[in-house]
DNA sequence: TTTTGCAATGCAAACGTTTGCGTAAAAATA
DNA sequence: TATTTTTACGCAAACGTTTGCATTGCAAAA
């Protein structure tokens, strides 16, 4: 559907005339009979410029619709005021929350955010790191691709003096800045909650054990069980690859065949937890009376599923805020710090009906 | 938790030495006894440069770890190779899908994506448009803030020759490029589906009527009812402000008091649809036997809720792809086109259990 | 009055890359 | 061999802003 009206023609004319006729500092200088340097300083509120000229310049700039060319400025000052962000996928709710936090803080501080998706591919991740170096970003925030176990492609940033902050899926054995939650403690809390609710056979749907966060969650679960129940039944632990909704259903089917069945299940994420609840309910198992369920991440779905899901708030938005805050601090610090920082965010157990045993 | 090891110290030394010692074209030129222009052309695979020198340059560039300064290049060429994206919020699943599509296409085409959240505030939206002009973005993709009814702050882009593409919440009465779905037809399809399933009293949870997309959905609903049932009972239409999960529950409560109750409900989004299903089921109403429900958007939750929700796939990812594709075409077109384009994506009715009346 | 000091502005270079034009040498043509 | 064409490269300007240093005018101190 294409519409060409008389109106559009008029607009086009304007368009063609104005095209690329951006007013520059020099133009302003000429008009005002001042030097470009004075204009520049006036606009930057430099103390050496008199208030009178400052006002004059401001007014004229406004009048002529002067738009400072920040690329020229970046070029000259060697500062792009841009942060690069590499996430596995933008459309995963957790990451979109983190990005939202990053943008929020960056915007307030005057930085721009350029995003890239690694699609969990190390090849693409490497490509992106190269791009980011060209682009002269001032700092980079990364959540590693699942495939990434070697971090060499990030070393160049250090050489270039570009600070890095990793979040969630962070490098192990590599000293750098990290924003994480305490997965161990969170899992411990979640498991302990089930124990306190009277569960005696608590199962765990575990994530990919080559990913540190899921490993830590399993450890937290184990630790809580050992502390309160003494011994641990390894059979109650079912490892998953992707922790998808579908995989969760498969785990649930397995649990249904156990005898006795688990009376509590701690799932490494919310998708599998939701899946378990649905499969169990279809099988006539009452949640939470027969089996209590706890998830991890506080996805929107957790407060929609019936019964509402007890889960761990993983502070995704806050993670983004902290990542941006730390990164910008590192960028603006006079002498770039040598120390690497790891910020651990406090999680919170959100207790809902799925674990409220009578 | 701060760890300083001997290793880190060594890295730091390297770091300090290397800092800001980026190799430039000039450096390369000097080393190779060639002029910067030759280096530039060699690296750009210019036909006027011999294969021999090209190879020599490539090799040396690799060897010295030359990183082209794309800010300088952007500055000189007046091309930032950057797209600006303004969305109300990144953490809304629909938008994160669109952004994902935008990034996907932009990445393949060599463009970067800088994102901004308007937070549905017109003030912030205006601020962002100013920023984007400074940044010399080559094109902008926008989903308008709910507050936005005046589009003057976007007119400057046209004057600057920067193409704009709007998606989802697009300006009305303003000739520009738009990517939309056919909300009218989709709503018509959804309502007709309920009619064909035998529903005779079909209600509608409508969105904010000052937003064109929700207005169109209401019209589509009305049109289908009128076509098949002849007359329309306006009481069966409940308008909502935000279409939130909570608002959906309020609507559901109202429907429960109707007599006779609606035997079909078409909701303007999935949140309210899910809410309706839950409230109805708690009240003992069988879905879909007593009342069939159809949502809109195909949110992840729609295939988790029991019964799974019949809904409209709004092609969010594809919308992002198309927006980026159109924008980049507009950017790269020789003579910027005068015509505004509106691309309407075909939606798809996804039929699941919530509408499968026997 | 001369000197010193300060406030306000200008000069000019620089940032790294690109590009139109010029030119030398080599190759092709007359 | 003389002339033209082609090939391969260099020169130098330009992009718009910033910034160290120089400069001007003028008031305060000597």
B263-298 tens-digit pLDDT: 999 999 999 999 999 999 999 999 999 999 999 999
Same domain, B143 and B205: no
Total number of domains in chain B = 3
Highest mean pLDDT among A186-190, B158-162, B231-235: A186-190
Q: Are A61 and A26 in contact (CB under 8 A)?
A: no
Same domain, B120 and B107: yes
Domain edge (last residue) among B23, B44, B67: B67
Q: Is A54 on the interface with B (CB under 8 A)?
A: no
Domain edge (last residue) among B67, B92, B110: B67
Please indicate, yes or no, if residue B74 is contained in any of the structural domains: no
Same domain, A199 and A115: no
Would you state the pLDDT for residue A334? 61
Which residues on neighbouring strands pair with residue A166, listed in sequence order?
A142, A178
Does residue B21 surpass a pLDDT of 90? Answer: no
Mean pLDDT of A212-240: 95
Give the CA distances from residue A333 to residues A50, A108, B208, B258, in Å, rounded to whole numbers and listed in that order. 31, 18, 47, 64
The label of the residue with tokens 């030394």 reads B13
The label of the residue with tokens 């159109």 reads B326
Same domain, B194 and B302: yes
Same domain, B165 and B228: no
Please indicate, yes or no, if residue A110 is contained in any of the structural domains: yes
Alpha-carbon torsion A241, A246, A248, A253, what sign? negative
Residue A243: which CATH number?
A: 3.40.50.2300
**Closest by Cβ to B8, choosing from A96, A107, A338:** A338
Give the CA distances from residue B167 to residues A11, B266, B320, B342, in Å, rounded to whole numbers and listed in that order. 21, 24, 8, 10
Q: Is A151 on the interface with B (CB under 8 A)?
A: no
Please indicate, yes or no, if residue B194 is contained in any of the structural domains: yes
* Among A166, A163, A190, CA closest to A180: A166
User: For the ranges A127-136, A334-343, B178-187, B205-214, which has the lowest average pLDDT?
Assistant: A334-343
Same domain, A214 and A296: yes
Domain edge (last residue) among B27, B43, B67: B67
Helix B122-134 vs helix B152-159: crossing angle, to nearest 10: 10
Same domain, B271 and B166: no
* Among A134, A21, A114, A71, CA closest to B79: A71
**C1' of D12 to CA of B26 (Å):** 14
Contacts of A140 (CB under 8 A, 6+ apart): A83, A84, A85, A86, A129, A132, A157, A162, A163, A164, A165, A327
Contacts of B333 (CB under 8 A, 6+ apart): none
CA distance B325 to chain A (A): 17
User: Running DSSP on this structure, what letter comes out for residue A317?
Assistant: H
Task: For residue A19, say whether its CB is under 7 Å from any atom of strand D.
Answer: no
Same domain, B278 and B212: yes
Q: Name the 3-class secondary structure at B150.
A: coil
Same domain, B257 and B284: yes
Residue B21: which CATH number?
A: 1.10.260.40
Would you state the pLDDT for residue A33? 94
Same domain, B209 and B160: no
Q: What's the CA gap between B28 and B60, in Å, rounded? A: 8
CB contact under 8 A, A339 and B67: no
The label of the residue with tokens 């999960």 reads B245
Please indicate, yes or no, if residue B151 is contained in any of the structural domains: yes
Please indicate, yes or no, if residue A74 is contained in any of the structural domains: no
Give the CA distances from residue B32 to residues A142, B60, B105, in Å, rounded to whole numbers and listed in that order. 37, 8, 38
Alpha-carbon torsion A331, A332, A338, A343, what sign? negative
Same domain, A321 and A177: yes
pLDDT band at A220 (very low <50, low <70, confident <90, very high): very high
Q: For residue B49, what are the domain limits?
A: 10-67
pLDDT band at B229 (very low <50, low <70, confident <90, very high): confident
pLDDT band at B339 (very low <50, low <70, confident <90, very high): confident
Does residue A335 surpass a pLDDT of 90? Answer: no
Task: For residue A41, say whether its CB is under 7 Å from any atom of strand D.
Answer: yes
**C1' of D20 to CA of B87 (Å):** 43
Q: What's the CA gap between A303 and B128, in Å, rounded? A: 34
Q: What's the CA gap between A63 and A32, in Å, rounded? A: 12
Would you state the pLDDT for residue B334? 61
Would you state the pLDDT for residue B336? 62
Please indicate, yes or no, if residue B72 is contained in any of the structural domains: no
CB contact under 8 A, A175 and B301: no
Please indicate, yes or no, if residue A120 is contained in any of the structural domains: yes
Q: Taking the CB of residue A329, how many other CB atoms lie within 10 A of it?
A: 16
Helix (H) / strand (E) containing B193: helix B183-196
A53 φ, ψ (degrees, to nearest 5): -65, -40
Q: What's the CA gap between A41 and B257, in Å, rounded? A: 69
Whole-number percent of chain B with pLDDT over 90 = 85
Please indicate, yes or no, if residue A95 is contained in any of the structural domains: yes
CA distance A340 to chain B (A): 6
**Which value, to the nearest 10 degrees, does the dihedral of the CA atoms of residues A66, A71, A72, A78 take?**
140
Q: What is the mean pLDDT of chain B?
A: 91
Does residue B233 surpass a pLDDT of 80? Answer: yes
A70 φ, ψ (degrees, to nearest 5): -75, -15
Mean pLDDT of B96-122: 97
Would you state the pLDDT for residue B173? 86
Q: What's the CA gap between B84 and B73, in Å, rounded? A: 19
Same domain, B321 and B256: no
């Amino acid at each position: 559907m294409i519409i060409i009206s008389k109106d559009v023609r008029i607009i086009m004319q304007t368009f063609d005339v104005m095209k690329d006729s951006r007013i520059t500092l020099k133009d302003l200088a000429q008009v005002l009979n001042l030097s470009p340097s004075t204009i520049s300083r006036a606009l930057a509120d430099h103390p050496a410029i008199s208030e009178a000229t400052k006002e004059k310049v401001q007014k004229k700039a406004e009048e002529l619709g002067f738009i400072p060319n920040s690329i020229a400025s970046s070029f000259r000052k060697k500062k792009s005021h841009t942060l690069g962000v590499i996430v596995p996928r933008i459309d995963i709710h957790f990451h979109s929350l983190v990005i939202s936090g990053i943008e929020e803080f960056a915007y307030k501080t005057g930085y721009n955010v350029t995003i890239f998706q690694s699609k969990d591919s190390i090849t693409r991740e490497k490509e992106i790191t190269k791009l980011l170096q060209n682009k002269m970003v001032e700092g980079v925030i990364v959540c590693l691709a699942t495939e990434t176990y070697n971090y060499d492609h990030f070393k160049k940033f250090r050489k270039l003096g570009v600070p890095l902050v990793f979040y969630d899926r962070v490098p192990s054995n590599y000293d750098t800045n990290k924003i994480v939650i305490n997965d161990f403690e969170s899992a411990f809390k979640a498991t302990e909650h089930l124990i306190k609710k009277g569960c005696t056979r608590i199962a765990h749907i575990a994530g990919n054990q080559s990913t540190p966060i899921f490993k830590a969650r399993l450890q937290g679960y184990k630790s809580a069980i050992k502390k309160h129940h003494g011994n641990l039944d390894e059979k109650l632990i079912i490892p998953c690859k992707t922790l998808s909704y579908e995989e969760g259903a498969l785990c649930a089917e397995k649990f249904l065949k156990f005898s006795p069945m688990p009376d509590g299940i701690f799932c490494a994420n919310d998708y599998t937890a939701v899946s378990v609840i649905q499969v169990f309910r279809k099988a006539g198992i009452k949640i939470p009376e027969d089996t209590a369920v706890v998830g991890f991440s506080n996805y929107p779905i957790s407060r929609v599923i019936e019964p509402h899901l007890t889960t761990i708030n993983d502070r995704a938005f806050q993670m983004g805020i902290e990542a941006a805050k730390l990164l910008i601090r590192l960028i603006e610090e006079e002498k770039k710090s040598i120390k690497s920082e790891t910020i651990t965010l406090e999680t919170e157990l959100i207790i809902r009906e799925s674990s409220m045993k009578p």
